[in-house]
């Protein structure tokens, strides 16, 4: 290059460098896409269940999956993980619902590491349903006093177990991966309805502060529909159902794994709508599930209330019809690390233990309910072991015009409402708290609420100033939303250095007890020998004969009858683990109970069990098919029968099936029978009301004349009614066997006689 050209090039370079550069425009978000996936959590029967301070009864068989708390002994409903994945081309977000009591920091950290290893970069919002019949052993210890002190967490969650956490992480990872692999363009709609009939205020201590019956009663449905190429909604994909309700219908002596009240709502809403619904837990720290008006207990209550709440959710879902999808969708995830230290909370040195405390008793309020507020000087606590301060996560999630915010524990209603107000500057039309999310730090209450004592402060590690501290942190988070935030810490994840041995089965898989033919309302039992629960819970399906073949029975348009809640599964081993913990060979016996109800379809059925077994050190799969058994019409209509005269002068007959109150194990609050609901609107102690159909009887009039009368079903009278009667006086109606036929074909097996006076 000549010197003149070199000079020109250098001059051009410096002129170019002196000119201001036009920055590239930021990337634009695209339309919203969503996917949904579900996986069963790989948790064996025998695992301890979290949430209650459980004691081990003498009947507890023990399990290699339970150390301090009793072993679960069966399955009412499968614990699962359900994921809704979102992206707008810029942000990837996974909402991860877990059928667990809580979300632990180690589970979140382990999951993030596992997903990162697969190349998945999505932001995660993990939240638990807070079932008290879900898997324990996923929470790291919180020791009293020192590193060798009592692990307080183990009292309600058993001792931490990395193998259990690893098994859960595998299922969650699979669900996240599948949800993102099935993304579809979507549009969302929102509706909120009053649902106060399904929860109750469980914390009377704060009545002087907030008033009686203070709780969140709103049910908010976020409907997500697939859209066509023009952005018009074409069919529902999934729905998020936000509600506040503890998972505490089943008592502390229950031995069945269950998704509890939140899971029952989610399952029956999914059945009703024909799509996978996701339950999102709200401010449930001071809110319990409410029993229905008809005395259903335990598993019956779960079914009754779940079905009833699902109908309300269907109404909200229809109101939440999405509009046209936007071409540039808003999807935000922001995260803030919140320091957990005495000084950060605002305590003076010596005012509260340095590393937190538990069993905090506010002296003047012990045993009281809404009487006296304690002062901080009266609070006595058991300090936790010294530990290095860490940062927990607060997350803000925005999907369109819906704003979610996480809270690391059991959020009280009072604090929740202030947190919702703190998010007003962000401008979302719908703001929803997500409790039991990202971490678990006990109950989250306002200061005045905390100082009124009761149970909740005893399991709140950071005292009366922690709730106000979280509120202040959220307010600052909102004010600095566009600025860099301190990241949360990731918990140290203990390695899984060994896994539990799987015991051999004594013999090949085989049927032990066959189901019998029976009328509706009977319980059909199928018992078989299979494999160790560590190999997976057997999948038992119900099949019905159609023509020459047996086909799977549908619980709904989208769900087959496989295991619970229609089929109750129980397990026992011989010898028990408690009797011989080192036994390498056992008899593994599984028992399925199929309880029919008045509407069970008539026909020929069979049960098919599929599972894994280990024999002589080798694992294999098995399939066992029960004998075919008949379900015939019930002849117990009119086990309880009564007659009356209606206001318009008709003879009315009300007939009921035999009572079916919940059956419990002797001396235990543990369901062993009568677990299905026969009638949504009748007390099982009174007996399900037979409905529909016709009746034909012989009527004796006051003048002793006899006539044959036809009675038709009246929904208004909830009875079979005759034509108007003409005379006055005493009437007697007699129905011959088979003369009363309900809407499902059930009949009276014997003579029924009633009297009524006009």
pLDDT digits over 227-273, tens only? 999 999 999 999 999 999 999 999 999 999 999 999 999 999 999 99
Q: Output the DSSP codes for 198-222.
A: GEEE--GGGHHHH-TT----EEEEE
217 and 324 both lie in a single domain? yes
Contact 410, 456 (CB under 8 A): yes
Phi and psi torsions of 371, nearest 5°: -100, -65
739 and 621 both lie in a single domain? no
pLDDT for the residue numbered 442:
96
pLDDT for the residue numbered 5:
45
- Residue span of the structural domain in which 511 resides: 504-632
Residue 402 located in a structural domain: yes
Q: Which of 281, 338, 264, 2 is nearest to 129 (CA)?
A: 281
In angstroms, the CA 525 to CA 513 distance is 7
List Cα–Cα distances, 642 to 606, 705, 724, in angstroms.
37, 21, 18
- What DSSP state is assigned to residue 29? P
How many structural domains are present in the chain?
3
Maximum CA pair distance of the chain? Answer: 135
- pTM, two decimals, is 0.94
Q: Output the DSSP codes for 680-698.
A: TTS-TTT-PBP-SSEEEEE
Q: Which of 632, 661, 679 is the last residue of a domain?
A: 632
205 and 296 both lie in a single domain? yes
Percent of the chain surpassing pLDDT 70: 96
pLDDT tens readout for residues 72-92: 999 999 999 999 999 999 999
In 99-203, which ranges are E strands?
123-128, 184-194, 199-201
559 and 612 both lie in a single domain? yes
List Cα–Cα distances, 5 to 13, 16, 251, 429, 748, in angstroms.
12, 16, 89, 64, 110
Here the CATH number for the domain that contains residue 628 is 2.60.40.2300
236 and 87 both lie in a single domain? yes
Alpha helices, DSSP H only, in 230-367?
260-273, 298-319, 342-345
pLDDT for the residue numbered 26:
74
pLDDT tens readout for residues 726-756: 989 999 999 999 999 999 999 999 999 999 9
pLDDT tens readout for residues 107-157: 999 999 999 999 999 999 999 999 999 999 999 999 999 999 999 999 999
Q: Which of 600, 632, 664 is the last residue of a domain?
A: 632
Residue 690 has pLDDT above 80, yes or no: yes
Residue 7 located in a structural domain: no
In angstroms, the CA 158 to CA 161 distance is 9
216 and 290 both lie in a single domain? yes
- What would the two tokens of residue 92 be? 């990837």
- Indicate the helix (H) or strand (E) that contains 299: helix 298-319
Residue 11 has pLDDT above 80, yes or no: no
Strands 523-529 and 549-552: unpaired
pLDDT tens readout for residues 576-626: 999 999 999 999 999 999 999 999 999 999 999 999 999 999 999 999 999
Which residues are within 8 A (CB) of 285 and not within 5 positions of it... i.e. 6 or more apart?
A: 203, 409, 410, 411, 412, 413, 435, 443, 444, 445, 456
215 and 131 both lie in a single domain? yes
Residue 348 located in a structural domain: no
Give the pLDDT band of residue 24 (cuts 50, 70, 90).
confident
Residue 19 has pLDDT above 90, yes or no: no
612 and 652 both lie in a single domain? no
Q: Which of 601, 619, 600, 599 is nearest to 611 (CA)?
A: 619
In angstroms, the CA 712 to CA 723 distance is 9
Q: At what angle do helices 105-118 and 162-181 cross, to 10 degrees?
A: 50
Q: Which of 321, 330, 361, 264 is nearest to 675 (CA)?
A: 264
Contact 735, 748 (CB under 8 A): yes
Residue 15 has pLDDT above 50, yes or no: no
Q: Output the DSSP codes for 650-667.
A: EEEEEEEPPP-PPEE-TT
What is the torsion angle, in degrees rounded to the nearest 10, for the CA atoms of residue 313, residue 317, residue 319 and residue 322? Answer: 160
184 and 112 both lie in a single domain? yes
Residue 733 located in a structural domain: yes
Give the pLDDT band of residue 23 (cuts 50, 70, 90).
confident
Residue 22 located in a structural domain: no
537 and 628 both lie in a single domain? yes
pLDDT for the residue numbered 79:
97
Residue 381 located in a structural domain: no
- What would the two tokens of residue 681 be? 């609107």
Residue 20 located in a structural domain: no
pLDDT for the residue numbered 352:
95
In angstroms, the CA 338 to CA 340 distance is 6
Residue 389 has pLDDT above 90, yes or no: yes
pLDDT for the residue numbered 27:
84
The answer to whether the peptide bond before residue 575 is cis (omega within 30 degrees of 0) is yes
In angstroms, the CA 155 to CA 101 distance is 14
Which residues are within 8 A (CB) of 44 and not within 5 positions of it... i.e. 6 or more apart?
A: 63, 65, 532, 533, 534, 536, 537
- Indicate the helix (H) or strand (E) that contains 8: helix 3-18
- What would the two tokens of residue 354 be? 């340095």
Residue with tokens 């799969």: 621
pLDDT tens readout for residues 405-440: 999 999 999 999 999 999 999 999 999 999 999 999
Contact 597, 307 (CB under 8 A): no
- What would the two tokens of residue 518 be? 């029976």
pLDDT tens readout for residues 462-514: 999 999 999 999 999 999 999 999 999 999 999 998 899 999 999 999 999 99
What is the torsion angle, in degrees rounded to the nearest 10, for the CA atoms of residue 200, residue 204, residue 209 and residue 213? Answer: 30
Residue 487 located in a structural domain: no
582 and 722 both lie in a single domain? no
Residue 363 has pLDDT above 80, yes or no: no
Q: Which of 582, 609, 632 is the last residue of a domain?
A: 632
Residue with tokens 């929740």: 416
In angstroms, the CA 637 to CA 652 distance is 15
- Indicate the helix (H) or strand (E) that contains 558: none
pLDDT tens readout for residues 96-109: 999 999 999 999 99
Give the pLDDT band of residue 165 (cuts 50, 70, 90).
very high
514 and 553 both lie in a single domain? yes
Strands 184-194 and 199-201: unpaired
């Amino acid at each position: 290059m000549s010197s003149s050209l070199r000079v020109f090039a250098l001059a051009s370079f410096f002129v170019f460098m002196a000119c201001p550069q036009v920055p590239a425009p930021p990337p634009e978000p695209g339309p919203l896409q969503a996917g949904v996936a579900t996986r069963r959590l790989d948790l064996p029967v025998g695992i301890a269940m979290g949430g209650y301070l459980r004691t081990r009864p003498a009947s507890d068989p023990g399990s290699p999956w339970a150390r301090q708390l009793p072993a679960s002994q069966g399955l009412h409903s499968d614990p699962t993980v359900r994921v809704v994945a979102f992206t707008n081309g810029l942000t990837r977000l996974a909402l991860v619902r877990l059928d667990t009591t809580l979300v632990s920091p180690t589970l979140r950290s382990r999951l993030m590491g596992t997903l990162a290893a697969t190349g998945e970069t999505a932001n995660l919002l993990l939240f638990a349903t807070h079932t008290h019949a879900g898997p324990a052993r996923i929470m790291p210890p919180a020791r009293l006093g020192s590193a060798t002190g009592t692990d307080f967490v183990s009292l309600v969650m058993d001792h931490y177990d990395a193998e259990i956490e690893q098994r859960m992480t595998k299922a969650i990872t699979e669900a996240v991966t599948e949800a993102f692999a099935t993304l579809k363009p979507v549009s969302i709609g929102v509706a909120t309805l009053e649902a106060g009939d399904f929860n109750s205020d469980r914390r009377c201590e704060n009545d002087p502060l907030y008033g009686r019956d203070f709780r969140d009663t709103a049910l908010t449905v976020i409907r997500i529909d697939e859209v066509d190429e023009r952005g018009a909604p074409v069919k529902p994909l999934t729905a998020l159902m936000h509600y506040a309700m503890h998972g505490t219908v089943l008592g502390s002596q229950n031995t069945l794994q269950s998704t509890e009240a939140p899971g029952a709502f989610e399952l029956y809403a999914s059945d009703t709508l024909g799509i996978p619904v996701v339950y999102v837990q709200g401010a449930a720290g001071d809110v319990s599930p409410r029993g229905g008006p008809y005395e259903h207990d335990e598993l019956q209550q779960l079914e009754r209330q779940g079905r009833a709440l699902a109908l309300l959710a269907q109404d909200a879902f229809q109101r939440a019809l999405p509009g046209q999808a936007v071409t540039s969708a808003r999807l935000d995830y922001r995260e803030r690390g919140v320091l957990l230290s005495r000084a950060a909370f605002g305590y003076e040195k010596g005012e509260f233990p340095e590393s937190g405390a538990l069993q905090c008793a506010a002296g003047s309020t012990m045993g009281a309910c809404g009487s006296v507020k304690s002062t901080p000087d009266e609070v006595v606590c058991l300090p936790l072991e010294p530990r290095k301060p860490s940062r927990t996560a607060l997350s803000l999630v925005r999907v369109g015009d819906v704003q979610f915010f996480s809270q690391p524990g059991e959020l009280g209603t009072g604090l929740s409402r202030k947190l919702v107000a703190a998010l007003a500057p962000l401008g979302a039309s719908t703001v929803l708290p997500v409790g039991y999310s990202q971490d678990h730090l006990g109950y989250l209450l306002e200061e005045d609420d905390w100082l009124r004592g009761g149970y909740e402060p005893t399991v709140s590690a950071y005292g009366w100033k922690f709730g106000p501290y979280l509120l202040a942190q959220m307010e600052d988070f909102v004010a600095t939303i566009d600025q860099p935030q301190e990241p949360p810490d990731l918990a140290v994840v203990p390695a899984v250095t060994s896994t539990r041995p799987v015991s051999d089965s004594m013999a090949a898989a085989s049927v032990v007890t066959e189901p019998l033919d029976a009328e509706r309302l009977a319980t059909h039992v199928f018992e078989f020998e299979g494999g160790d629960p560590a190999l997976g819970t057997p999948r038992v399906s119900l099949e019905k004969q159609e023509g020459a073949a047996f086909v799977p029975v549908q619980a709904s348009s989208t769900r087959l009858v496989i295991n619970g809640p229609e089929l109750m599964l129980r397990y026992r081993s011989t010898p028990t683990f408690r009797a011989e913990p080192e036994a390498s060979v056992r008899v593994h016996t599984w028992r399925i109970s199929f309880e029919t109800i008045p509407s069970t379809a008539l026909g020929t059925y069979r049960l098919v069990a599929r599972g894994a077994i280990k024999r002589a050190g080798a694992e294999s799969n098995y399939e066992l098919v029960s004998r075919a058994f008949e379900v015939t019409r019930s002849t117990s209509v009119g086990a309880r029968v009564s007659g009356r005269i209606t206001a318009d002068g008709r003879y009315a007959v009300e007939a009921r099936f035999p009572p079916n109150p919940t059956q419990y194990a002797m001396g235990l609050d543990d369901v062993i029978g009568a677990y299905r609901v026969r009638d949504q609107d009748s007390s099982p102690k009174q007996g399900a009301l037979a409905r529909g159909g016709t009746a034909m009887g012989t009527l004796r009039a006051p003048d002793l004349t006899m006539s044959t009368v036809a009675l038709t079903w009246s929904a208004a009278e909830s009875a079979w009614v005759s034509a108007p009667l003409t005379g006055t006086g005493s009437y007697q109606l007699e129905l011959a066997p088979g003369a009363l036929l309900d809407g499902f074909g059930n009949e009276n097996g014997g003579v029924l006689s009633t009297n009524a006076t006009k």
